[in-house]
Amino acid sequence: MLLQTIRLPACQNRQEQSFLIYRGDLECVTAPGNKQHKLKYHLQQALLEQKDYVATFGGPHSNHVAAFVARCVELGLKPLIVVRGETWATLTPTLSQAVRQGAVLFPSQRSDYRLGLNAEMKLAMDDFYQNNVYWVPEGGGGTFGVLGCLDWANDIYQQLDDDVHVCVASGTGTTAAGFAASRFRSLSVFSALKGAEDLVGVLNNHCRQADLSCQATVLDGYDESLHGGFGRVSDQLLDFLRVLKTLNPGIPLDPVYTSKMVFKVNQLVEQGLWLHKKTLFIHTGGLQGWQGLTNQQCPYDDYQCT
């Protein structure tokens, strides 16, 4: 059951508002949440171009890297990973798993990493592999990523009533752009990044490049609720997740995106500022991200480091 009811702490004694969550984390074992959708058309294009290698960028705990490697292996493609920062004698669980699956890692200085597809590391790898590499932008972004998420959003839309208000978290804006261009007409986008004041412009740019119209009618930022920055968690967020777990024991949330979005909506409900009668949260996966935190921080036993 991918559509589930979720109970918020702020709504325990209220009946006038209802909340659902679409469990994208349960859709696919190897590339859960938005990952398989962002990668779908990229990997189809790599096969169409008959490339032997597919490369991308990611951090040492990246959910994108884990999903990317798994999908490449399933399709018979050889994954290459440009890793942000240094690699260590003891790799992170995410990178260790990637290596076990056959990925080749290329540590990159952060200054070069930030250049993305213009990085010197990319040029060196293209030369080494004789231009037999298909490149996927960090996080599975770009037009192909947006189109994959558009398909995903429209598939979800067909399972729902027209009056639902959708909430989706955003990093690069790829997933949110797909939802903003979909058949949904009531949408809030929550940025997981600091300095994302121009997220409306980012979404419009993504949609324009994909020749789509953008229908994001509401934009809510995290502002004071960034919990220390991207990829970080606060004690306040962890306390909230422990309470949420008691109310919804079978619905784990990731530490970077969905949890902070639900936290913010719960705050708005408490303040009487959330006016939507029926809300749908999109769970974009990312539970593997708990491996980047300590077992004491993770409220979910199944996702603690072993």
Which helix (H) or strand (E) segment holds residue 179: the answer is helix 174-180
Q: Which of 179, 181, 186 is nearest to 208 (CA)?
A: 181
Dump strand ranges (E) for 78-138.
78-84, 104-108, 133-135
Instruction: Identify the residue whose tokens are 């306390």.
Output: 239
Q: What is the layout of strands, in order, in the sheet containing 133-135?
A: 104-108, 78-84, 53-58, 133-135
CA distance 82 to 198: 27
| Both structure tokens of 229 | 């920055």
CA distance 175 to 163: 21
What is the gyration radius of the CA atoms in the chain, in angstroms?
Answer: 19
Residue of 18, 62, 96, 188 marked active site: 62
Which helix (H) or strand (E) segment holds residue 189: the answer is strand 187-191
CB 233 within 8 A of CB 297: yes
| Both structure tokens of 236 | 């306040």
Q: Is 62 annotated as catalytic?
A: yes
CA distance 79 to 101: 9
Query: How far is CA 216 from each of CA 26, 103, 145, 261, rounded to the nearest angstrom?
Result: 26, 37, 18, 16
* DSSP β-bridge partners for residue 104: 80
Helix (H, G, I), strand (E, B) or coil at 242: helix
Please list the active-site residues. 62
